[in-house]
Amino acid sequence: MNARQSSRLHLGAALVATLLQAPACFSDQGPVDPSLTPQTIVELQTGRTSEAVPLPDASGRHGIATLINLNPAVNSQFLLTLQGPDRPETLNYPIENPAPASQRLSLSALNPGHLSIDAGGKTVQCALWPVDALEKAHRSPLPFAPWCDGRLYLRNAVRGNRTVLEATTQFLRDHVWRGEQIIGFVRHEFYQDAFMERAISQADASGRTRVPVSLDGPPPAPMIATGTRREIVTPGLGIDLGASGPVLQGQWYGAAGLDNIYVSVAQPGLLTDGNTVATGRGRALDSVESDALVYLVAFDLAAFEFGFALGTEHPRLGWSARVRPDAQDAQMPGPDGIATAAPLARAGMVSPALQPRVVATFTGGFKREHGAFRYGSLATVNHASHYGFIEQGVVFSRLNPGLSTLYVLNDGSVGMKTWERGDDRMLGQIRHARQNGVPLIERDPSGGKSVFGLLVDAWGPGNWSGSADEKLRTLRAGACVIEHASRHFLVYAYFSTATPRAMARVFQAYGCSYAMHLDMNALEHTYLALYRPEADHINVEHLVGTMAVLDKSSGTTLLPRFLGFADDRDFFYLLARKERR
């Protein structure tokens, strides 16, 4: 982080601290009406199955054990409930099956009080009653507590990590009158362009040897200009390309020691798709975003599995503050009838069963506060069209039509599209999904090139965030898919400062068929890390070197975000595919 970035961040933090010391008007929504009992998240799972068996105790009395498979097609998430004969309350245990393709769970009818795990023709039984072992795992501080000799995990609700910036802004939003306006003022006065990076041309690079271009990555992006303006060095890049020296803008370079992962860098003002005016509707970029560097990472999906996980807190499930009163149902605590994930638990990190195969993570989409529409047609339908999300087959918030959706089917295939009502037929087969606004670029229905999304230049109807006077240039991140020569690449892009239009232009120039916004404004919202195994540890490489401040350490051990500790934000992850036997 340079001196200008640091001074701006310190000024912004100082202003927030001053505002917090002043007398504040705190919101008070009053007590919740107990007669307005919402449905639970379990009732959102329309394909769930359930079985129940009696639980005898030593005296011969019976309780009830119930096992709910929340999505049998995915076979990952379960809820076990126990009702004892001598206790009125129900005990809830969210269970994760770490081997959904090979392990089948059921309640044993022949051996009451036991859970059966069938795998590879063998059956193992785990005692449910008395609940000592279950309760020990449930009271563990771990988000994933091993149970039944590690064959299953209990998912426990824990408090996820968040930075001082995150904690302060959340406090303002939740408790301070007009807190969102305070955040907006600080963001645009002190944070706009705070993370901007400019290229250093080869003329300033002391004649270093150029990094070799990868020949098996995605196709390069065409450039308007050539020569020294195209050849640059990238001091902010934190990913090892195998050599130090200048790179060519628009070209792809292999990440050292990590097959099928490619890195590129460019200035938006130098990119063209050969048809910029026709597809981009002719509006030019300003001089700042034209020069601001964009870093891209592409993953060949033939080599990786893709997943999504919710943070321990975000995105929330209640109403967004952006929703107009006429679009909100006062009888419901949230747009889906719930305001909490209970009795399920949100872990905020990659499951221990998957961590040996993790090669990358990056932050997800907007919080619920910003994940709904106040203006435009999407504000008037489906309770203001809150962004939906699904994790491991469990619907936490319904997918709404008209929204950009990044999804993974149960067969592992990855797609990105604008959700339509007819797409609901796929819900039973969706393992993961995350919605985030409207498209930056989308497929031309006539079969031609990709085109800019209809709302790219519409601040309110597009819900791009920023200020009411359309000051939209800030640090942003997005994702796209590139389809080339029967290969499919998932691309993550970090824009050091950009408007939605600049993002769309970059994605279009790189040959993406569809692109969507993810998050914005701060490093913690635009974090990406790659994991390269070494002899006795994992080497963590960040897309931008300053992202390392989001990780932690314990003694000499590095604890990467999303792997070493639970985080309050949602994220995506990529796993090395298992070798087929």
What is the rounded CA–CA span in Å between residue 321 and residue 184? 14
pLDDT value, residue 283: 64
CA dihedral over 271, 273, 277, 282, signed as positive or negative: negative
Query: Measuring CA to CA, which residue among 454, 395, 465 is closest to residue 428?
Result: 395
Beta strands in 108-160 (DSSP E): 114-119, 122-127, 144-147, 152-155
Alpha-carbon dihedral 211, 248, 406, 446, rounded to 10 degrees: -140
Contacts of 559 (CB under 8 A, 6+ apart): 551, 552, 553, 565
Check: CB of residue 497 under 8 Å from CB of residue 272. Answer: no
pLDDT value, residue 12: 38
What stretch of H or E contains 185?
helix 179-186
Beta strands in 241-302 (DSSP E): 247-248, 253-254, 261-266, 294-300
End-to-end distance of the chain based on CA atoms, in angstroms? 47
Backbone Cα Rg of the chain = 25
Check: CB of residue 566 under 8 Å from CB of residue 160. Answer: yes
Task: Go through the chain and tell me how many residues it has.
Answer: 581
Q: What is the DSSP letter of 269?
A: G
pLDDT value, residue 19: 32
Cα 550-174-13 angle, rounded to 5 deg: 45
This prediction has a pTM of 0.87
CA 501 → CA 97, 373, 417, 495, distances in Å?
A: 43, 19, 19, 12
* pLDDT digit string (tens) for the chain, length 581 residues: 544 444 443 333 333 333 333 333 323 333 334 343 448 999 999 999 999 998 876 555 678 999 999 999 999 999 999 987 666 688 999 999 999 999 999 999 888 889 999 998 899 999 987 778 888 999 999 999 999 999 999 999 999 886 655 555 554 455 444 445 444 544 454 455 666 787 776 554 455 677 889 889 999 999 876 655 688 888 899 999 988 889 999 999 999 999 999 999 999 999 986 544 334 444 688 889 999 999 999 999 999 999 999 999 999 999 999 999 999 998 899 999 999 999 999 999 999 999 999 999 999 999 999 999 999 999 999 999 999 999 999 999 999 999 999 999 999 999 999 999 999 999 999 999 999 999 999 988 777 688 999 999 999 999 998 655 557 889 999 999 999 989 999 999 999 999 999 999 999 999 999 999 999 988 899 999 999 877 677 899 999 999 999 998 888 788 999 999 999 999 999 999 986 43
Query: Measuring CA to CA, which residue among 571, 520, 510 is closest to residue 223?
Result: 510
φ, ψ for residue 20, nearest 5 deg: -70, -25
